[in-house]
Amino acid sequence: MSDRLLGFPNFDAGEPASELECLPYGADHDDEGVCLLVRMGPHRILLDCGLRDISPLASGLTKSARQGKVPLPADLVLISHAHSDHARGLLALHKAYPLLPVYASEVTSKLLPLNWLDQQDRKEIPQFCQALPLRSPIEFKDGLVAEIIPCGHLPGAVAILLTYTTKHRCYKLLYTGDFFLSNSRLVEGLRLDELRGLELDVLIIEGTYGTSRHPHRRHQENQLAERINRAIAENTSVLMPTPTLGLGQELLMLLRSHHHFTGRNLDIWVNGTVATGCDAYLELLPHFPPSVQNFARHQPLFWDERIRPRVRRLQPEQRSTVGKSPCIVITDSKTDLGAYYQPGNGRWLTFLPEKTNIKVNKEYLGLTAVENYFLAQHSDGPGTTQLIHNLRPKHVVFVHGSPTYLADLTSLEELQNRYHVHSPASGTLVELPIGETFLQPAAPETNYEGELTELGTVVTITLPDAIAADPRWRHFADTGLIEARWQGEELVLRGLSQREVLNQTSDRYVLPDVDCCGTCRHQRGQRCWNAASPLYNFKVTLEGYCPAFERNGDHQESGVRSQKSE
């Protein structure tokens, strides 16, 4: 049985093919938002509503209207967390269907209004979301029970467990929303022991990072803190645009507690809706982890002008003057960044999160350098498969991620051999039969066979041109330069972006006879890999030096560089 493309059907029409079905109104491809309609027996549950346009939810309701019923797109709505790509359509949904009940965790219900800060009649927005207790099963309809379980990622974020019981058997479905197995600064990670032994029929899980493997969270934080520290030491101010909730507050806690910054005479300015998000967090302190509450007993969580580094709210009139001395500014991603780039304010380094749609206008590139950083808020590929193998569901439905990343996950042999795997596009109804013979569709082809040739001092790797059909190829081959590194017994290739090449251009000209990181055998990809060096695991400048220096035999920068043939 295969997934069927039906547009947006009425679940009431005809006899259902199975007791469980899932219809994605939005699977968050290309920032469309997440919104899923799940049917369990006669019950229809809407999971999240991150749609920018909710009109698809009205499709299929005409039959109910003709029968004189009040048409609703679902029996109830359950929200996993307050990020806009999961919740921004809720206000429009409530205005269109005021009788449709909406539920979330207590923290999420308090954070949801931050999605509508741009509404002129903000004070008149009703509190339409009802709070649910954590880890407490509640029966909403005859035979339908829901339970919410903390899942990391963002304060208040939960996985949603739905149980539907009939005379013959019990059906269980778990929707993870966005989850994170690791602890972050303000949120404890999803605890696997709370979910083991559920005997799941269906797992609807995010695949944001596909099969990517990430360094440990603390390592990511140290890398970021080291780079910011180096920028400040070079008399450069740092500007970090972030979403309203989550990342901005995480960065503040990192900067306040990291050894590079504690006690340092430094100003950290917070602007826009990120500051509003900080205020909302302060009202929810009793719901935060004990470590965060303990921190707040000894010093303010965010606003603090007494203890260094000072954290201050930036007023609009201060934007054009901040930066005269090195500082850090965290602002919301919708702010006009040009207000900070003033010629008399010194140099700026603008840090953008990886995989962001935030842009810096070309006209400002003479006043600021631009770099990307990585601070994961979702589990990587191994974390995703770890959760799946712990739960052992019959069906796995992947949502929330680019189609290419989700295809990487669905094609994994370890998943294909054990589960019925789905990755539906928006508008594709997924039937989830339980106890029936299921023919797994063929996995998409993601492996490419090539040839390797050694000619003197040159190694050539030849791959078929079919690899260029993948939409990721354009970014990979952007400059025609690649970097290679060993990962265990495997050689991993990575394309170098224009920004990386431009930022490193001034460092490329290293004299071959000079003892420096550029001629050291332990330097690869501008990072030190010598465990005996004090710079181990840190990004280094090529003209740098340490006592553990060992000359590279060929006097060239370590790592593999290759020029794409025209």
Mean pLDDT of 455-469: 75
Mean pLDDT of 469-479: 73
Look at residue 194 in the predicted model and tell me its pLDDT: 92
* DSSP letters spanning 63-106: HHHHTT----S-SEEE-----HHHHTTHHHHHHH-TTS-EEEEH
Mean pLDDT of 245-258: 95
Flag whether pLDDT at 367 surpasses 80. Answer: yes
Look at residue 46 in the predicted model and tell me its pLDDT: 98
Q: Say if residue 127 is exposed, middle or buried (CB neighbours under 10 Å; 0-12, 13-18, 19+).
A: exposed
Flag whether pLDDT at 524 surpasses 90. Answer: no
Coil, helix or strand at residue 50: coil
Q: pTM of the predicted model, to two decimals?
A: 0.79
Range from 10-19, 325-334, 362-371, 464-473 carrying the lowest mean pLDDT: 10-19
- Reading the block at residue 127, the tokens are 């509190």
- Reading the block at residue 122, the tokens are 């903000």
Mean pLDDT of 473-500: 73
Note the helical H segments in 456-558: 473-476, 498-504
Mean pLDDT of 345-352: 91
Mean pLDDT of 209-232: 94
Residues 226 and 214: their CA atoms lie apart, in Å, by: 18
Three-state SS sequence of 128-160: CEEEECCCCCEEEECCEEEEEEECCCCCCCEEE
Three-state SS sequence of 312-360: EECCHHHCCCCCCCCCEEEEECCCCHHHCCCHHHCEEEEEEECCCCCCC
Look at residue 520 in the predicted model and tell me its pLDDT: 87
Mean pLDDT of 46-54: 96
H or E element, residue 304: none
Flag whether pLDDT at 412 surpasses 80. Answer: yes
Flag whether pLDDT at 21 surpasses 60. Answer: yes
Flag whether pLDDT at 471 surpasses 90. Answer: no
Range from 148-157, 317-326, 505-514, 530-539 carrying the lowest mean pLDDT: 505-514
Query: Is there a contact between 206 and 401 (Cβ–Cβ < 8 Å)?
Result: yes
Residue 465: pLDDT band (50, 70, 90) is confident
Look at residue 532 in the predicted model and tell me its pLDDT: 84
Mean pLDDT of 30-38: 89
Across the chain, mean pLDDT equals: 85
Pick the residue with more confidence: 3 or 234?
234
- Give residue-wise pLDDT tens across range 331-341: 998 888 888 99
Look at residue 504 in the predicted model and tell me its pLDDT: 55
Flag whether pLDDT at 510 surpasses 50. Answer: no
Flag whether pLDDT at 439 surpasses 70. Answer: no
Beta bridge partners of 422: 397
Flag whether pLDDT at 297 surpasses 50. Answer: yes
Look at residue 511 in the predicted model and tell me its pLDDT: 53
- Give residue-wise pLDDT tens across range 166-197: 998 999 999 999 999 999 999 999 999 999 89
% pLDDT > 90, the chain: 60
The edge-to-edge listing of strands for the beta sheet with 170-175 is 138-141, 144-150, 158-165, 170-175, 202-206, 395-399, 420-422
Flag whether pLDDT at 402 surpasses 70. Answer: yes
Residue 57: what are its φ and ψ, rounded to 5°?
Answer: -70, -20
Residue 564: pLDDT band (50, 70, 90) is very low
Look at residue 445 in the predicted model and tell me its pLDDT: 60
Cis peptide before 309 (omega within 30 of 0): yes
Flag whether pLDDT at 513 surpasses 80. Answer: no
Pick the residue with more confidence: 364 or 397?
397
Residue 16: pLDDT band (50, 70, 90) is low
Evaluated on CA atoms 201, 405, 527, 523, the torsion sign reads positive
Flag whether pLDDT at 559 surpasses 70. Answer: no
Mean pLDDT of 342-353: 89
Which of these, 104, 445, 58, lies nearest to 115 by C-alpha position? 104
Range from 22-31, 70-79, 287-296, 302-311 carrying the lowest mean pLDDT: 22-31
Look at residue 126 in the predicted model and tell me its pLDDT: 85
